[in-house]
Structure 1
Amino acid sequence: MDPVEAVGADASAPLRVLLVEDDDADALLVTEHFADTDLAVDLSRAHSLAEAEASLATGDGETPDCVLLDLALPDAHDFDGLRRLLHVDGPAVLVLTGRRDEQLGADAVGVGAQDYLVKDAVDGPSLARAVRYAVERRRTDRVRRALRDAQLRADENARLERGLLPSPLLEDPEVRILARYEPGTEQTLLGGDFYDVVEGHDGTLHAVIGDVCGHGPDEAALGVSLRIAWRTLVLSGIDPDRVLPTMHELLVSERNHPTLFTTLAAATVDPTRTRLTLRLAGHPPPALVGEGEDTHLLSTERLGLPLGVGSGQRWAPLELELPPKWALLLYTDGLIEGRQESGDVLWTDGLQALLRDITAGPLPWRDDPGAMLDAVMEQVRALSTARIDDVAAVLLVSDR
């Protein structure tokens, strides 16, 4: 249920009120006051603060909408009991005090009580009104807090997404970069898919796409760290064979659980745009996109372990000659793991067949590669009865 809907649910039901009062006569008076009003109340009683805390902690019945708290309990003094009950998330707290303690009641509002009532000055209507207002104020506070928390989470997710999905750093006018990202349809937490494309000072083109296992802000933050580390390493001119081992060491150092790992595909295209070097760390292979049957997925014969698995290794490069006007599609496994009606997953063979079908259309897809990429995403979405992972895809198109 949406947090805003949850706090306002069952508004027409009787209000659940917990009276914390050790004096039987005062408790009877409160009961009679409620009986004199048209307010529907489900009233329960605790004789001490300890009994109230035990009831709230065990969850017997439902959490009350309001607690009426006597400030003069044998096991609580001054505001001690109030502070302890305010730690319970949910009920509004109204304090009960004697006339001689009226200032104490007013001070209790400053501590956090919704309001205070003087025992020998309250009647049924004023009690009902105070309870109604306290509950509504508490519900309003919870709505505001839920909205604020949702906005904070949205802002944090937006910051993480900007880190995971950056703007390419590219000056070559003959290379086009198109990227797409879609969150998983069955999860609401931010995932750890990331990508980046940069051009080195010598004109070498570097591209990476990765997927931190799991979903949530920790995984997303780790993905941001890995992407920034990758960009820093490749732009620094470090030996390409040291990039993935260094990222492996960073992941092992930064992860919050020893089983956390990252799959990754890193592609390097030389300045002439005729030769590709590919390194795979447990990641599905990119596709070299042509026309129809000319489209094929690259080999996985040099597939290495994911980052974070094992003690680190050299990820052997796969060297390939590129055809004129090539296009390279990198993607995360969310694109190929959607469950189809048959129960099978699309996987790499299915993606290759889908790409061949789309690129064999009557119109040259290179005239609008963005539409082609959108068609791929749309068809994968249509074929998948359930997809629990995010999808990131990056298409590099060379016009040379």
Structure 2
Amino acid sequence: MVIDTTGEGSGGSALVGAEDELVVLLVEDDDGDAFLVTEHLADAALTVVVRRATTLDDAISTLGDRAVDCVLLDLGLPDAVGLDAVTRLRALPCAPALVVLTGLSGTDEGVRAVAAGADDYLVKGEVEPDLLGRSVRYAVQRRRSEAQQRAIYRSQIREAETMRLERALLPTPLVDDDDLAVLVGYIPGGNGLLGGDFYDAVELGDGRVVCLIGDVAGHGPDEAALGATLRTAWRTLVVSGTAPADVIGHVEHILTLERDRPEIFSTLCQVVVAPDRRSADLYLAGHLAPLLISEGRIAPVPSTARGRAMGVPSTGGWQALTIPLAAPWSLLLYTDGLVEATLAGVEVQGLDGPRPRRARLGLDGLASTVERVLADGQSNVVERTLRAVRDVHGGPLDDDAAALLVGWAGPGEAGERASTTAEDAGWGR
């Protein structure tokens, strides 16, 4: 045992053993009683650093300055008598374990102390080293277990909140045409936090199918919540009959109202597939152009009509670019998390310094990856593309990645439906 009035306390493992060093604060104004307790602690099977305070105010000050594992508290102090001391100590943030020392031989005072928040109580005249050691270990273990349970509970709450956000970001496309293929996928970046990527697809009463993919600048729960808000606003506008050419402007208005900082912006890609499935109108708000898969070729749609990102302080709107389509065709919409993936083991010289950096997959690399995926089969293209990009990256991507594929093989040809998220088996966070 070490008696110390100045040193810092040490932490401990979840399970309290005899070898763990514990910091005990003895709050006792009587020198004789303090000496006896200190001797008992020295004889107990504990590795312990003992500090002493003679008043409750001194004890509270010590707890604010230094780490303490357990408080041994006398219930008769000059500035606190009875359970008032227990109540005040328990009200402290991150209060340590608390064992009450009472001079009364009856159990009533000790039981009331435990009811008020103490972990255990001991009668001074009946204390002996083994009993004191067990009581301190029990009290510390109980507090650590409670802290672990609180941490687990908070983790479960955060996980549930994350899943609710993901469900808002990742809706079920509202497309009834069985001839149209609609495949969607979303995986968060390597740190497991949600970002602002979002997608959706809605079939209108006249047969047009409006598809969306977007990305809020930034990464985390605030951006995820904003992305969910924008996607919900977009779907509401589309199903309520707003002309596709006007939708982006209204979504931008929602963005400016809901963002918490003026520098937050969002990119968006909207595709409106014609009822006869032989053309589509493309709207780009600062977003990457989709890949067109048709006639054995995979190439990005020429982005000659690209407009500005939503929420940036510049003029200009968003004009439609009509894309002719010949069956079978597919359009792959995606976010920048895919093209910004890097190539494991491939380095290039950086422009901002002498140190090399990992080469990026880029748009051409993504097109080549999709080509390899299609060469191995036509099903589950989005999921297999996400996995292929993650494989060349060498692990979880640094940024979120979302993708939506809409395609048409011709009249009477059933279209595939599939959804892939990080919650699916085999992905993990």
Q: Same fold (TM over 0.5)?
A: yes
Provide the C-alpha distance between the structure 2 equivalents of 1:37 and 1:395, rounded to a whole number of angstroms.
69
Give runs of aligned pairs for residues 1-400 of structure 1, distance below 5 A.
8=14, 12-58=19-65, 60=66, 63-75=67-79, 78-79=83-84, 82-89=87-94, 91-99=96-104, 103=108, 105-185=110-190, 187-290=191-294, 292=296, 294-310=297-313, 314-340=317-343, 341-342=346-347, 343-359=358-374, 361=375, 365=377, 368-370=378-380, 372-385=381-394, 387-400=397-410
- Asked if structure 1 preserves the Cα contact closer than 8 Å seen for 2:206 and 2:275, the reply is yes
Shift of 1:85: 4.8
Provide the C-alpha distance between the structure 2 equivalents of 1:313 and 1:18, rounded to a whole number of angstroms.
68
Look up the SS of the partner of 2:158 in the other structure: helix
Q: Residue by residue, what CA displacement relative to the aligned partner does 1:100-133 show, whole Å, maximum 9, x if unpaired?
A: 8964543332332222333344332222121111
Look up the SS of the partner of 1:304 in the other structure: coil
- Asked if structure 2 preserves the Cα contact closer than 8 Å seen for 1:248 and 1:312, the reply is no
Q: Residue by residue, what CA displacement relative to the aligned partner does 1:367-392 show, whole Å, maximum 9, x if unpaired?
A: x331x333322221122147321111
**TM norm structure 1:** 0.86
Provide the C-alpha distance between the structure 2 equivalents of 1:356 and 1:118, rounded to a whole number of angstroms.
78
**TM norm structure 2:** 0.81
Evaluate the alpha carbon distance shift between residue 70 and residue 244 of structure 1 in structure 2; reply closer, same or farther with a 3 A threshold. Answer: farther
Evaluate the alpha carbon distance shift between residue 252 and residue 40 of structure 1 in structure 2; reply closer, same or farther with a 3 A threshold. Answer: same
- Asked if structure 2 preserves the Cα contact closer than 8 Å seen for 1:208 and 1:265, the reply is yes
Q: Which has the higher strand share?
A: 2
- Asked if structure 2 preserves the Cα contact closer than 8 Å seen for 1:86 and 1:93, the reply is no
Q: Residue by residue, what CA displacement relative to the aligned partner does 1:186-210 show, whole Å, maximum 9, x if unpaired?
A: x122222211111011111011112
Q: Residue by residue, what CA displacement relative to the aligned partner does 1:31-57 show, whole Å, maximum 9, x if unpaired?
A: 111122222222223444444444444
- Asked if structure 2 preserves the Cα contact closer than 8 Å seen for 1:291 and 1:356, the reply is no
- Asked if structure 2 preserves the Cα contact closer than 8 Å seen for 1:79 and 1:108, the reply is no
Evaluate the alpha carbon distance shift between residue 304 and residue 97 of structure 1 in structure 2; reply closer, same or farther with a 3 A threshold. Answer: farther
- Asked if structure 2 preserves the Cα contact closer than 8 Å seen for 1:49 and 1:81, the reply is no
- Asked if structure 2 preserves the Cα contact closer than 8 Å seen for 1:207 and 1:267, the reply is yes
Shift of 1:23: 3.6
- Asked if structure 2 preserves the Cα contact closer than 8 Å seen for 1:7 and 1:142, the reply is no
Look up the SS of the partner of 1:289 in the other structure: strand
Evaluate the alpha carbon distance shift between residue 107 and residue 280 of structure 1 in structure 2; reply closer, same or farther with a 3 A threshold. Answer: farther
Q: Residue by residue, what CA displacement relative to the aligned partner does 1:8-32 show, whole Å, maximum 9, x if unpaired?
A: 2775422222223344333222211
Shift of 1:169: 0.7
Q: 218-227 vs 99-108, which deviates more? A: 99-108
Evaluate the alpha carbon distance shift between residue 279 and residue 50 of structure 1 in structure 2; reply closer, same or farther with a 3 A threshold. Answer: farther
Evaluate the alpha carbon distance shift between residue 123 and residue 378 of structure 1 in structure 2; reply closer, same or farther with a 3 A threshold. Answer: same
Q: Which runs of 5+ in 2 are unaligned?
A: 1-11, 348-357, 411-429
Evaluate the alpha carbon distance shift between residue 101 and residue 389 of structure 1 in structure 2; reply closer, same or farther with a 3 A threshold. Answer: farther
Provide the C-alpha distance between the structure 1 equivalents of 2:382 and 2:122, rounded to a whole number of angstroms.
66
Look up the SS of the partner of 1:369 in the other structure: coil
Identity of aligned residues (%): 44
Look up the SS of the partner of 1:146 in the other structure: helix
C-alpha RMSD of matched pairs (Å): 2.7
Provide the C-alpha distance between the structure 2 equivalents of 1:291 and 1:7, rounded to a whole number of angstroms.
63
Q: Which runs of 5+ in 1 are unaligned?
A: 1-5
